[in-house]
Chains A and B, each alone.
Chain A
Amino acid sequence: MRDYYAQYVTIGIFAIVAAVLVVGTLQLSRLLRPSHPTAEKLTTYESGIDPIGAGWAQTSVRYYVYALLFVIFDVEAVFLFPWATVFESLGTQAFVEMVIFVGILALALLYAIKKRLLEWL
């Protein structure tokens, strides 16, 4: 196992190189590709007819509920992973605590189901 920071520096360098690859390829293909923008070409695509209204239309609030539910469970996952590596040595007490924790979360999910938040109206 190498140095902790060296590992993440490597990953950071990979991130930079990947970003440079995307930008570089786009710049290189600029040398090859044509560029003749016209007003029609640059209109928003709406299946061939002129766009009606602004593109940032109103959408269903339903997606917001999913986002909130997701946050609850994703926070659980953050606690779950450290627990998953050590619970064997901590024994029954740690297990019971996790049962309670998961139980509370399951209650939250049950509440959302009973409130019919997950039904598509």
Chain B
Amino acid sequence: MFELNLSDWQILLVKLGLVLAIVPAITLVAGYAEHKVMAHLQHRLGPMYPGGFHGWATLLADGLKFIYKEDIIPAAADRKVFSLAPLAIFVPTVLTVLVLPLDETLVVEELDLGLFYLLAVSSISTIGMLMAGWSSSNKYALIGALRAAAQLIAYELPIVLSAAVAAMLAGTLSLNGIVEAQEWPFVLWPPGIGLIAFLVFFGAGVAELTRPPFDMPVAESEIITGAFTEYSGMRFIFSTFFPEVANMVIISGVATTLFLGGYQPIVPLGFLDAVPGLVWFTLKTAFMVFMLLWIRPTFPRLREDQLQKFAWKFLIPTSLVLILAAGAWVLYAPEGLK
């Protein structure tokens, strides 16, 4: 490795530059992938010619359209809260990226409390949803915001509890520590506990993203776009499109970090150690993103009460049992098995 003597401020500037360049770029790629993967899954290809490969230039046209779109704030809306809401959603989304370990040393800030920080910061956007829905002074927006808040908090619990299982098995809250503590075959060990915790985490993650089959907060056939009905132009981008797609990638990255061995090679073969950890992390995250995209056109939307029932009566009790099971495993499993 080469030696670079940079001051703290220079390092900070480099980090800022990289994050601000890479996060929007990945969001664009993932948003484009979402369109095209779903298009192919449904045999409805959509625009295929602009720009060449799978019509990628339509994405740029979409972006330009949003920039040139008139910015409308309804006369009845609470203007201050209305314009603050995108900030309350966008900023936490950016902040969650900072602690994800892409490789052994490739992380913006390696916090001791990484997992705790991640869960804490990611739950702030619920407030943004409520702000958007309430300040719009629109019935659809209000219903959407309440649905969103109820859903986000109900499914935050299984996420937090199953993430706690990962922390218990690793014995640390540092995300790098959790990755290091995992050994092949990652999610399958300890038997049952790891896999169920992963499934609970991922299922609740789909709900946390308000993606189908859990998309009642933005159900277009019932309540238009939910909390964001009155948003247009760039405000709409910052409050829904960007956080939705970025969070899809982030939650896949978190699932990879907590359960799938993060930046470790998929199989423990010596020669695979030569491949940089970033490649493994990207591959695993891309696979999880693909699963999310696959789920979306496959399952129909649930009803609001079914959604709440699924969280409170199934996922939360399951994850409580998992915590006790994981605790028993760590304390009482025979030494040879661990």
- Chain A interface size, as a band, is 35 or more
Inter-chain CA distance A39–B72, complex, in Å, is 11
Inter-chain CA distance A70–B160, complex, in Å, is 12
CB of B12 within 8 A of CB of A13, answer: yes
Which residues of chain B from 212 to 245 have a CB within 8 Å of any chain A CB?
224, 229-230, 233-235, 238
Does B182 touch A at the CB level, under 8 Å?
A: no
Contact of B75 among A15, A43, A105 (CB under 8 A): A43
CB of B90 within 8 A of CB of A22, answer: yes
B324 to chain A, nearest CB (A): 6
Which residues of chain B from 153 to 176 have a CB within 8 Å of any chain A CB?
153-154, 156-157, 160-161, 164, 167-168, 171-173
Inter-chain CA distance A45–B161, complex, in Å, is 39
CB of A42 within 8 A of CB of B142, answer: no
CB of B317 within 8 A of CB of A109, answer: yes
Residue among B112, B146, B173 having the largest count of chain A Cβ atoms under 10 Å? B146
Does B29 touch A at the CB level, under 8 Å?
A: no
CB of A10 within 8 A of CB of B146, answer: no
CB of A102 within 8 A of CB of B320, answer: yes
CB of A26 within 8 A of CB of B304, answer: no
CB of A32 within 8 A of CB of B67, answer: yes
Residue among A7, A19, A84 having the largest count of chain B Cβ atoms under 10 Å? A84
CB of B157 within 8 A of CB of A63, answer: no
CB of A22 within 8 A of CB of B238, answer: yes
Residue among A1, A19, A92 having the largest count of chain B Cβ atoms under 10 Å? A19
Does B312 touch A at the CB level, under 8 Å?
A: yes
Q: A18-B91, A33-B70 are in contact. Are A85 and B234 (CB under 8 A)?
A: no
Does A88 touch B at the CB level, under 8 Å?
A: yes
Inter-chain CA distance A73–B312, complex, in Å, is 11
Q: A14-B16, A18-B95, A25-B234 are in contact. Are A44 and B320 (CB under 8 A)?
A: no
CB of A35 within 8 A of CB of B157, answer: no
Does B331 touch A at the CB level, under 8 Å?
A: yes
A-B Cβ contacts below 8 A, count: 194
CB of B234 within 8 A of CB of A120, answer: no
Which residues of chain A from 75 to 115 have a CB within 8 Å of any chain B CB?
77, 80-81, 84-85, 87-88, 91-92, 95, 98-99, 102, 105-106, 109, 112-113
Residues of A within 8 A of B324 (CB): 98-99, 102
Q: Residue of A at shortest CB range from B151?
A: A66
Residue among B77, B110, B154 having the largest count of chain A Cβ atoms under 10 Å? B154
Q: Residue of A at shortest CB range from B326?
A: A84
CB of A46 within 8 A of CB of B138, answer: yes
Which residues of chain A from 1 to 54 have a CB within 8 Å of any chain B CB?
1, 6-7, 10-11, 13-15, 17-19, 21-23, 25-26, 29-30, 32-37, 39, 41-47, 51, 54
Does B54 touch A at the CB level, under 8 Å?
A: no
Inter-chain CA distance A92–B71, complex, in Å, is 60
Does B330 touch A at the CB level, under 8 Å?
A: yes
CB of A66 within 8 A of CB of B150, answer: yes
CB of A87 within 8 A of CB of B327, answer: yes
A61 to chain B, nearest CB (A): 11
Q: A22-B238, A26-B235 are in contact. Are A69 and B312 (CB under 8 A)?
A: yes
Contacts from A to B (Cβ < 8 Å): 1, 6-7, 10-11, 13-15, 17-19, 21-23, 25-26, 29-30, 32-37, 39, 41-47, 51, 54-57, 59-60, 63, 66-67, 69-70, 73-74, 77, 80-81, 84-85, 87-88, 91-92, 95, 98-99, 102, 105-106, 109, 112-113, 118-120
Shortest 7 CB-CB distances between A and B: which pairs?
A120-B305, A55-B137, A42-B75, A18-B94, A70-B153, A84-B168, A84-B167
Assuming A45-B224, A56-B142, A60-B146, what are 14 further A-B pairs, CB within 8 angstroms?
A10-B15, A17-B16, A22-B86, A32-B67, A45-B138, A54-B137, A55-B138, A67-B150, A81-B167, A85-B171, A95-B327, A102-B320, A119-B305, A120-B309
Can you report 30 residue pairs joining A to B where beta carbons are below 8 Å apart?
A: A10-B108, A11-B98, A17-B16, A18-B91, A19-B91, A22-B86, A29-B233, A33-B70, A34-B68, A34-B70, A36-B70, A37-B72, A39-B75, A43-B75, A44-B138, A51-B138, A54-B137, A57-B142, A66-B153, A66-B308, A70-B153, A73-B157, A77-B160, A81-B173, A88-B331, A95-B331, A102-B324, A105-B320, A118-B313, A120-B304
